[in-house]
Amino acid sequence: MRLAERSFSGPRIYYGWAIVAAAFTLMFTGFGVVYSFAMFFKAFQTEFGAPRADVSLVFSICAFLYFTLGAPAGMLADRFGPRRVSLAGAAVLAIGLAGSSFAPSLAVLYVTYSIGIGVGVGLTYVPSVGAVQPWFVHNRAFATGIAVAGIGASNFIMPPLVAWWIELYGWRGAYLALALFSLILAGSAACIIDNDPAARGMRTAPAGGPKPAAEPLPGSSLGEALHSRVFWMLYAALFLPTIGVFVPMVHLVPYAMDHGHPESAGVMLVSLIGLGSLIGRFGIGGIADRMGRLDSLALMYAGLGMSFLCWWQSQSLWALGVMAVGMGVFYGGFVATMPAVVMDIFGGRAVSAIIGWLYTAPGVGTLIGPPLAGYAFDRLGSYDVPILGAAGLSFTGAIAMVLLARSRQ
């Protein structure tokens, strides 16, 4: 058996793809829970009599936590391995969901859902993305794209599934079903995830011109990265667009209903974002490997800006559907490309920790965006201002990435 291969029943398959599959499953589970939040929006408004800004905050606190916890989770994964950290995350995720099913008030949901789901996803997301990176070289963005396609697949599959569970069991029963679903699926994947090819006597993927994995991975330490200008340019370019990028995940269902479409149409639109994201994650990574990853990121941010402008002009279900798919493609594309850019620039020495610190940027952005959009609607009766603001911030992020790409050249 060659060092870079592992025998299965049939053709030999590089074991790194098993790691990709485990990362895919962890992200499918965690983000399936997160992106199903819009399905519960109306139920929370009705049950707790809360304005849109307050309901949006349940999601935003959760997203803030799973993004900002990426930094310590990445450091923990670099020290103890992603398997232990991901197993803890799967357990916390299931406990948070079960607790949410018994929440008597929105304030309790801030604890059970916002904190429970935020911590659970935070302990699985960055460690699983980081675990993929050491297994690949030339096809790194492609492999990362497949792994993070779990997020897009969950956004496509989970909203209609959860809407069906809500119809069958009510929103509380649906959360119990999600708790069991998450425990089984995420727990199984966490048992497989691994970031150490050397432990299996393997090299990095053969297509990448491998070097023995037993040697220490080259690259910057976390401290060196945090003291570099490039890190903070990446940080700013990630922060600005993500103020707006999660607004449709929370507000697209009520937006559709405000314009006379049934709730099921809003569910379909959120699912279409997931379909587009799935396309972007699978398709853009390979293109970015050839076109240039920094230039590809700039293109993705510009595409997001155009998508928000299309949303601003869209009211018909057909136009909203086209917008949702396009937004998903560009969102999925930048999520698939960013970890590979980090590996390109900083190397593999502390890749999980560096990705984790970078992902505090969308954490802060998401804490700001959806509640601010809800507040704007509560005061103005329209989403025009937050949608146009999100477009402007996306274009600003694109300009920042172009400047970074030119400076690197």
What mean pLDDT comes out for the span 24-41? 90
The sign one gets for the Cα dihedral 305, 144, 236, 297 is negative
Q: What is the pLDDT of residue 8?
A: 37
**Is 251 contained in some domain?**
yes
Q: What is the pLDDT of residue 9?
A: 40
What mean pLDDT comes out for the span 42-63? 89
**Is 239 contained in some domain?**
yes
Determine whether 26 is exposed, middle or buried from the number of CB atoms within 10 Å of its CB (0-12, 13-18, 19+).
buried
**Is 245 contained in some domain?**
yes
Q: Specify which residues 13 forms β-bridges with.
A: 6
Query: Which residues are CB-contacts of 158 (< 8 A; sequence separation ≥ 6)?
Result: 32, 33, 35, 36, 274
**Is 3 contained in some domain?**
no
Q: Which domain holds residue 300?
A: 16-408
Question: Which range is most confident: 47-56, 176-185, 187-196, 347-356?
Answer: 176-185
Percent of the chain at pLDDT above 70? Answer: 90
**Is 28 contained in some domain?**
yes
SS (H, E, C) 252-318: HHHHHHHCCCCHHHHHHHHHHHHHHHHHHHHHHHHHHHHHCHHHHHHHHHHHHHHHHHHHHCCCCHH
Q: What is the pLDDT of residue 26?
A: 93
Amino acid, res. 131: A
Structure tokens at 164: 């069906």
Question: Are 237 and 296 in contact, with CB atoms under 8 Å apart?
Answer: no
**Is 2 contained in some domain?**
no
Q: What is the pLDDT of residue 2?
A: 36
Please count the helices (runs of H) and the strands (runs of E) in the chain: 18, 0
Q: What is the pLDDT of residue 218?
A: 74
For the stretch 73-98, pLDDT in tens is 878 887 888 889 999 999 999 999 99
Amino acid, res. 178: L
7 pLDDT above the threshold of 70: no
**Is 4 contained in some domain?**
no
Q: What is the pLDDT of residue 321?
A: 92
Q: Specify which residues 6 forms β-bridges with.
A: 13
For the stretch 369-402, pLDDT in tens is 999 999 999 899 889 999 999 999 999 999 988 8
Number of domains in the chain: 1
- For residues 203 and 82, the model is more confident at 82
Percent of the chain at pLDDT above 90? Answer: 36
285 pLDDT above the threshold of 80: no
Question: Are 395 and 305 in contact, with CB atoms under 8 Å apart?
Answer: yes
- Segment among 164-173, 335-344, 360-369 with least mean pLDDT: 335-344
Q: How many CA atoms lie within 13 A of 81 on its CB side?
A: 11
CATH number of 336's domain: 1.20.1250.20
The sign one gets for the Cα dihedral 183, 27, 265, 39 is positive
What mean pLDDT comes out for the span 99-118? 93
Q: What is the pLDDT of residue 168?
A: 93
Nearest to 128 by CA among 27, 244, 254: 27
Cα gap 1→409, rounded to integer Å: 41
Cα gap 299→230, rounded to integer Å: 19
**Is 170 contained in some domain?**
yes
345 pLDDT above the threshold of 50: yes
For the stretch 222-275, pLDDT in tens is 889 899 988 998 899 889 999 998 899 889 888 998 888 988 888 889 889 888
Q: What is the pLDDT of residue 290?
A: 74
192 pLDDT above the threshold of 80: yes
325 pLDDT above the threshold of 90: yes
Residue 29: pLDDT band by 50, 70, 90 thresholds? very high
Residue 212: pLDDT band by 50, 70, 90 thresholds? very low
| pTM for the whole structure | 0.73
